[in-house]
Structure 1
Amino acid sequence: MYRVDDEQRRIRLGRRHLLAPSARVTSAVTVSDAVVALHATDAATLYLSVCARLSDPGVGVVEQALYEDVSLVRLLSMRNTLFTVSTDVAPAVDASNARSVATKERSKLLKHLREDGKGLGEQWLADTERQTLAALNTRGRATGSELSAAVPALRTKITVFPGTKQETVQGVASRVIRVLAADGRIRRDRPRGSWTSSQFRWTAAEPWPVSDASAAREEVAMRWLHSYGPGTESDLKWWTGWGVRETRAALAAAGAEEVLLDNGAVAWVAPGDVADEPSPEPWAALLPGLDPSAMGWADRSFQLPAAHRAALFDRAGNIGPTVWWNGTIIGGWAQRSNGELVWRLLADVGEEASRLIEAEAARLSAWTDDARITPRFRTPLERELTS
């Protein structure tokens, strides 16, 4: 059995995730495909992740792909999380993950409607969805508030979790819109405000063609192996949110090959992907919270020293903004309210690393300009740096 050591895993990351300067590209779509999917729960993360991998970073490159070309789309998919993927990858992600998420979202909403006791159910939801789509088609694009103003049913309030400590009264607008988006019948358009805003407008969309879920899982597994391999079965199961049976079947269908890791664990690579790769030039990176290079594996020990974890993760397991040196996470960064970019290194990495980190910070500051970036999931180190 071939062995892929931790150093080779870090080399692959620098090359395949487009983080070494010589690996950077000019297209936001190329970036997305290189990492399979970009986290999009935090609006700013998407831009920061893409621009860290562009040779000429800028907001306009990402906006062009999202809103003009629509070559990048957001899907509620893996682990019931919002991701951005290219339109080439979207059908496989939709069939392998997003369809089941959409089914659960609809079931959850219908359960809340029934428990509310007003007699609302499937027919009411279908009528409300139809009215919402009609209003959106008339307007072209609209915010949730604008849709609620146009569709009286969206102003309905229901009691969720009645009779429990969690009982509360909520409006249905956001839930109905979430279900429509999960079904692929609407999509997020330009936000109100800047690129860091999550107050999106919505526009009509066409659902992705129905395709075989097993074949879609095979494709997603193969893409993940090319981008993140070697990775363990547990890594892929965690990243996708699939069950053990689906994960094993996808790896088998993809023809994944076994390799050994430095810690003795058995991992998987794409067929034939066992040869060592040459080291790229020394590189540093400042990546945002939830960046895919930190979120691609359940076990990050090859890139993240255990002693650094407490400072860089929140209590829910979300990683914050990180500083990287040649494939290892060595610290964290933040932006203060006055726009100043600050960072703290958790390891002594030498003069060359410090110089390249400063250059990356300057590059990041140049394209973000006067934007203010506060991660949605705040970590101990990020909070310390901005206090």
Structure 2
Amino acid sequence: MRGSLFLVPSDTAGRVFAPFQASAARVLTRMRRAELDDEGYRAASERIVATASLPLLPRELEDVAGVSGVRMSLLLRTIRAEGRMLAVAQGSLRAAQLRYVATASWAAGALEVDDVDAALAALAGDYLRGYGPARPADFAWWTGVGTAAAARALATVDTVDVGNGLLLPRNDEPAFSGITAPRNTVDLLPKWDAYTMGFAPDGRARLVHLHNQPQMYVRQGVMAPGQPNVGLSGDGYPVVLVDGEAVGTWNVTVREATVHLFDTVGPATRRRIDERLADVRSLLAD
């Protein structure tokens, strides 16, 4: 979750944002990387926020900011981390096409909450409903909060331990217990899929063998077979699932579809994988 962009309803944006609003110390650390002191940052950010009453591209804010390029990107990320600006998609979700607007102009009050602890507790319930069963350590890793804060938040949720410290909302336990394990299924997950990005590294054994985990995630300076080394360390690659377990990675370009399997699969499974890849290529060709 940390450092990611999320599309959320405006009435829940506050509880997603408030527990992670940037502190003054965090802002100062970022600004040192941008070669700005606190006074310089405050002056530049105030000019940017005052100008962006409507969504604008970064290049449209460079003159008032007095910076450009990487420094401008860092400046905008920091202002957003404080909650004073929002990233707005207009026609595309690509980062290069995002526009930036003052929160007060676009969604006044949307990021404000009365109780930050209650916001984190509500997010803990959301997390378990989306990712459970999961461990407190997984929630702490996903949010970036301390283990004690994560435990307090999860303690407010009515949960049941389904084994090995894995928690699930109590209302979800009957449906979970009644699930039949999938058989003869093949699924292709895209890069950054929530299924691969929701658990701490030491909690991913339920979906990928520990030996294969390094091949599923971006490692800076290490090229994975068939994958462009694009993204931040820890980003999940596109993954091939067989009966819910990761067996390889995949990639589709204009020219071809490629698969890198961690282990040998049977001919029927390989045929299903190829069929799924053909479906993706057909979709992208339309």
Normalising by structure 2, we get a TM-score of 0.78
Report Cα offsets for 1:60-92 as digits up to 9, x if no partner: xxxxxxxxxxxxxxxxxx43x113142154221
Equivalent positions of 1:172-211 (< 5 A) are 172-190=71-89, 196=94, 198-205=96-103, 206=107, 207-211=110-114
2:141 to 238, 256, 268: 238
Deviations 1:249-288 (A, max 9, x none): 111111322231xxxx322111243331333675322222
Change (3 A) 1:292 1:317: same
CA distance in 2 between counterparts of 1:110 and 1:128 reads 11
Residue 301, structure 1, aligned to residue 230, structure 2: no
Contact 2:160 2:167 (8 Å CA) reproduced: yes
The answer to whether 1:155 aligns with 2:155 is: no
Q: Confirm or deny: 8 A CA contact 1:102 1:179 kept in the other structure.
A: no
- Alignment match, 1:249: 152
Match of 2:240 in 1: 323
- Indicate the larger mover: 314-323 or 170-179: 170-179
Please say if residues 238 and 251 of structure 2, whose CA atoms lie closer than 8 Å, have aligned partners that are also in contact: yes
RMSD of Structure 2 on Structure 1 (CA): 2.9
Cα deviation for residue 173 of structure 1 reads 2.6
Given residue 277 of structure 1, which amino acid in structure 2 is its aligned partner? Answer: G
Residues 333, 341 of structure 1: 8 Å contact kept:
yes
Q: Quote the Cα distance in structure 1 between the aligned partners of 2:48 and 2:263.
A: 53
Aligned residue pairs, count: 262
Alpha carbons 2:113, 2:119 under 8 Å: kept: no
Deviations 1:14-66, CA, capped at 9 Å, x for gaps: xxxxxxxxxxxxxxxxxxxxxxxxxxxxxxxxxxxxxxxxxxxxxxxxxxxxx
1: distance between equivalents of 2:214 and 2:205?
Answer: 14
State how 1:1-387 maps to structure 2 within 5 Å: 78-79=1-2, 81-87=3-9, 88-97=11-20, 99=21, 101=22, 103-109=24-30, 121-122=38-39, 124-137=40-53, 140-149=54-63, 151=64, 154-156=65-67, 172-190=71-89, 196=94, 198-205=96-103, 206=107, 207-260=110-163, 265-275=164-174, 276-279=177-180, 282-298=184-200, 299-315=203-219, 316-336=233-253, 338-369=254-285
Instruction: Work out the CA distance in 2 between the residues paired with 1:273 and 1:234.
Output: 20
Deviation of the 1:200 alpha carbon? 2.4
Alignment partner of 1:247: what SS? helix
Q: C-alpha separation between the residues in 1 aligned to 2:70 and 2:257?
A: 39
Work out the CA distance in 2 between the residues paired with 1:104 and 1:335.
42
Q: Is the 8 A contact 1:230 1:268 kept in 2?
A: yes
Structure 1 gap ranges (5+): 1-77, 158-169, 371-387
Contact 1:187–1:202 at 8 Å: present in 2 too?
yes
Separation (CA, whole Å) in 2 of partners of 1:148 and 1:249? 43
Change beyond 3 A, Cα 1:253–1:359: same
Q: Secondary structure at the match of 1:367?
A: helix
Question: Contact 2:15–2:111 (CA<8 Å) still a contact in 1?
Answer: no
1-side partners of 2:70 and 2:236: how far apart? Answer: 31
SS at match of 1:334: strand
> How far, CA to CA, are the matches of 2:76 and 2:125 in structure 1?
32
Distance between the aligned counterparts of 2:151 and 2:251, measured in 1? 39
> What amino acid is the match of 1:267?
L
Instruction: Return the offset for 1:224.
Output: 1.5
Secondary structure of residue in 2 paired with 1:198: helix
Distance 1:183 1:172 in 2: 17
